[in-house]
A and B are shown apart, each in its own frame.
Chain A
Amino acid sequence: MGGLTQKQLRIVNQVCWTLALAVAAIPFVFPFLWMISSGFKSASEIFGSPSLVPREWQWRNFVDVFTYQPFARQYFNSLYIALTVTALTLVISSLAGYALARLRFAGAGLISLFLVSALMVPEEVTMIPNFFLIKWAGLIDTHWPLIMLPVFGPQGIMATFLMRQYFLALPRELEEAGKMDGLSRFGVWWRIALPMSRPALAAVAIITFLNSWNLFLEPLIFISSLEKFTLPLALSNFTDPYGTPLWHLQLAATTLAVLPILIVYLIAQRQIIESFALSGVKG
C-alpha cells in the first residue's frame, strides 16, 4: 500500500481537483471560443463542420456587419450612452451617498428605507408608466430614456448605497480638519471624501458602465430607428426579412461587441470581480 507519501497524496488530490474544475469550465469558456470561430466562417460552413478553426477565414463578415446596418454608429451610441450614464451616476450617487452617510437631517432614515425597498422591485413593474412618461415628454426614439432610467433607477440607487457604505467606513477626522480649514460642505465632499473613495467610485463606474452597455429592455421599448440602436439591440437584428438569424454576421457582430469588454476584463479581472463583490455584499 504505502507507495505514496503524504505530500504526493496531496499533489494527486490537487491534480484531480484541477481536472474536475477544467471540465466544469468548458461551458463557461467554450461559447466565447465558438462565437469567435463562427464569426470567421462563411454562411455555408457555419453549420457544416464542428471545427474550431474555420476552413476558410471569412474576414468579409467583419466588413459586411458594418454595411448590413449602421453598426459603427450603433457601436458609438452604446459607448457614449454608457459613458454618460457612468459619469452622471458617479456624481449623483456619491452626492446622495455622502448626505446619507455624513449629514444629519430629518427624514434620512425614511428616505433610506424607501430607496432600499425600491431595489426589490423589478423594473418591469414601473416600465409601463415610465413609457407613457417618456412618451408624454416627447422623448420616444431618443437616447434620453436610456440615460435617465438607469441613472435614477435601481442601478443608481444601488450605487448610492455602495457609496454611503464606503463613506461610513472612512475616518471622519480628515473631513473635520477640512471644515476647520474653511472648506464648504461641497468642498469637503469634492476634495477630501471623494479622493479617499477611489475603490468605491471604481466599483460604481465598472458596474454602471457594464449595466448600461448590456441594457436591452429599455432600448427595445424606446428605440425604433436603426441609427439610434444600441449594441444589444443591433445584435439581435442580424436577421433576414423573415426573422431567421444570419448567423455568420450575427456572431461576427457579437464578437466585435463582446471582445473589447472581455479583453478589459482579462486585464483588470481582480478589480472588476472585487467591484461586484463589493456591490453584492450589500444587495
Chain B
Amino acid sequence: MPAKPTTGIVTQDASTPWLTLKMREAMEAWLFIGPTLAGFLIFFIGPLIAVVWYSMTEWNLLAQQATFVGLDNYDDALFRNPDFWLVVRNSVIFALGLVPFNMALALALAISLSRRFVGVVFFRTVFFAPVVTSAVAWAIVWKFLLQGEAGFVNQMLAHIGINGPNWLREPDWAMAAVIVTRVIKMVGLNMILYIAALQAIPRDYEAAARLEGASNWQIFRLVIWPLLGPTTLVIMVITTIGSFKVFDHIYLMTGGGPENGTLVLAFYIYKQGFEFFDVGYASALAMIMFVIVMVLTLVQLALRRRDT
C-alpha cells in the first residue's frame, strides 16, 4: 500500500479535524479486525446459537427434518439415560485424578529445574518433549507399551515379580493408565509456566527469609507458594478445562472402554453426534458441557479471589 500524501491529511484535518481522524481510526480498526471478527461470528457465535436451538429439537436424519421438543433432550440426559451420569462420573474422576497430579508434578519439576546446574537444559528439554509430540502418536505408543501380558510395562514388572494387570482392558486400571499417560504428556507445559513464575520471584525474598532462620519448607510455604498464587490459578483453570476437553488421547488408547469405564464427556458428545447421529441429544450434551466448564471457571476464580 503506497503511503498517503501528507497534504491530503492536512486538508482533511483542516475541515473537521477531530471527528475525521477518529472516524478514520475506527474504520481502519474495523478493517484490521474484520477477518477475525467475521470468522468469530461464523464459526463461533453462530454455532453457539445454533447448538442451543439444536438441543431443543429431535432430528430425523432420513427425512432431514427437525422437530421442536423443548427440553426433552436435557430431560433425557439428566433423568432417563443412565449413561449420562456414568459419563459425568468418569469425567469428574478423570479431572480429579489429572489436575492435582499434573499440578503437583509440574511444581516439583519446576522447583528442581528453576536453578542453574549441569544438565538443567537437558532435563527441561526432556520433560517438555511430549508436549510438542502429537497426542495420537503418544497414545499409540503408550497403548503399545501397556498391552496385556506381552506389553513392555508388564514384562518389566514381571522381572521384579509383579504380575501387571491388563491395563487398558480393566475399567479402573484403564482410567488410571489414561490419566497417568496424559499427565506425562502435558505436565511439561505447566512446568515451564511454573519455572517462569519462580524465576520472576526476586532472590532477596528467599535470602531474607533464610536470614530470619526459615527452613526450606517454611520458605516454600510462606514465601514462594503465596507468590505463585496467580500462576497456580491460571494453571488450574487451563488444566481443568483441558481435562474436560480430552478426546483423542482416550479415543485412541481405550476407545472409551472397557465397559464405558473411560467414556468421558467430550468423547460421549462425539459418539452421540457423529457415530449415532443423535444431533439433538448430542447438542444438549454440548450445552451441558458448556455450562459445566463455565461454572468450573467461575468457581475457581471466585475461590481464588476470596483466598487473597
Contacts and interface: CB of A to CB of B under 8 A. Distances in A.
Interface in B1-27: 1-6, 22, 25-26
Contact of A210 (B28, B123, B132, B279): B132
Interface stretch (B68-76, B168-176, B203-211, B284-292): B284-292
Given A103-B28, A182-B5, A120 B43 contact: no
- Among A21, A187, A189, find the residue whose CB has the most chain B CB atoms closer than 10 A: A21
Contacts of A113: none
A89 B113 CA distance: 33
Interface string A98-133: 111001111010010011001011111111111111
Contacts of A50: 152, 155-156
A124 B269 contact: yes
A236 B297 contact: no
B229 interface: no
A187 to B, nearest CB: 6
Interface residues on A, range: 35 or more
A158 to B, nearest CB: 11
A105 B126 CA distance: 46
Contacts of A29: 126, 129
- Among B2, B30, B133, B248, find the residue whose CB has the most chain A CB atoms closer than 10 A: B133
Q: Which secondary structure dominates where chain A touches chain B?
A: helix
A103 B51 CA distance: 34
B238 interface: yes
Contacts of B289: 122, 124-125
Interface residues of B, number: 97
A96 B33 contact: yes
A105 B3 CA distance: 23
B193 interface: yes
A66 B279 CA distance: 37
B46 interface: yes
B278 to A, nearest CB: 10
Nearest to B265: A124
B245 interface: yes
A121 B293 contact: yes
Nearest to B255: A243
A217 B270 contact: yes
B192 A273 contact: yes
A258 B36 contact: no
A47 B266 CA distance: 33
Contacts of A99: 28-30, 32-33
Given A93-B36, A122-B244, A236-B252, A38 B6 contact: no
A80 B202 CA distance: 45
A115 B4 CA distance: 32
Contacts of A220: 251
Given A128-B279, A283-B234, A104 B25 contact: yes
A227 B133 CA distance: 23
B268 to A, nearest CB: 10
A151 B35 CA distance: 10
Interface string B199-242: 00000000000000000000000000000000000100110010
A31 interface: yes
B248 A34 contact: no
Nearest to A266: B125
Given A103-B32, A232-B248, A269-B125, A187 B3 contact: yes
Contact of A184 (B1, B33, B42): B1
A47 B150 contact: yes
A35 B244 CA distance: 28
B167 interface: no
A12 interface: no
A231 interface: yes
Nearest to B50: A129
A25 B33 CA distance: 44
A254 interface: yes
Interface string A206-224: 0000100110110011000
17 contacts: A17-B112, A18-B118, A27-B184, A29-B126, A31-B145, A92-B36, A96-B37, A103-B28, A122-B290, A124-B286, A125-B286, A130-B47, A152-B43, A157-B40, A182-B3, A221-B274, A254-B137
Given A127-B286, A280-B189, 16 more contacts: A18-B117, A35-B141, A47-B147, A114-B45, A122-B244, A122-B289, A124-B289, A125-B286, A129-B47, A130-B43, A148-B39, A156-B39, A232-B137, A236-B140, A236-B252, A251-B144
4 nearest interchain CB pairs? A152-B39, A129-B47, A99-B32, A129-B50
